[in-house]
Amino acid sequence: MKKTSVVFILAMFLIFATAAIAQDEEEEGKWRNFEISMNIGLTMPSNIDWYDTLAAKNGIHFGMSGGYYLSERICLGSYFSYSQMAPEEVSSFDISDQKYKMYNVGLYGKYAFSGESNFEPYVKISAGINFAKFATWVGDFRTILREISYDPAFSGGLYLGASYFTSDYGALFLEVGYHIDKLKNTPAIYAGETFPFPEDIKYLELNIGVAVFFGPE
């Protein structure tokens, strides 16, 4: 197993262990049990030459998640996200219909710095699976560009954010995150030929969204 994957998995175990302790200590007085959120934002690749010389532009991001609060400050949940970016233009080809698409599903752990203020900063870590469908050069002379699906790969992210409560059980939030998809050497098959992905995907996310909370009763 790759070193980065091990680090994320260990971090998730640490969150679960911390949450179990916190639940015992803070079960009484917990004002929220569940959260549901949706977000939109920007995906900004940090290593842009993803496939040969075909670079990626900044793209769009959409996500949704739901979690359970084990304590006042610690939430564990699951998420789904979709990101899409366009390749940089190639002068000799029309590639306007080709895209980089990433579907992510997994688990997250969040620690909220709750207090008396309407602002609530938080830190979040995620670990899951990436399903990538990427514009890739194919054909005998690599002159044909096609969107092909790659095998699932590990996906992980680290986020910093802040929520602003607009009501007792509703909030707007802004977050920035660093995401990595361990796609290096992950294969895709097209026309009977195997195409290994050349490197891992690293990108920044800037998201805005809305969250709704549900209390104990």
One DSSP character per residue, 141-165 reads TT-EEEEEEPPPEEEEEEEEEEEEE
Which positions ≥6 away from 32 have C-beta within 8 Å? 69, 169, 213, 214, 215, 216
Enclosing H/E stretch for 82: strand 74-85
Per-residue pLDDT of the chain (217 residues; tens, 9 = 90+): 455 555 555 555 555 555 555 544 455 567 899 999 999 999 998 765 555 546 778 899 999 999 999 998 999 999 999 999 887 765 556 666 788 899 999 999 999 998 889 999 999 999 999 999 988 888 887 778 888 999 999 999 999 999 999 999 999 999 999 999 999 999 999 999 999 988 888 999 999 999 999 987 6
Per the structure, the count of domains in the chain is: 1
**What pLDDT sits at residue 138?**
87
Which residue segment(s) compose the domain that 63 sits in? Answer: 3-214
Which positions ≥6 away from 216 have C-beta within 8 Å? 30, 31, 32, 33
From the centroid of its chain, how far is CA 54?
23
pTM of the model: 0.83
CATH number at residue 204: 2.40.160.20
Tokens of 47: 């290593």
**Amino acid identity, residue 185?**
N
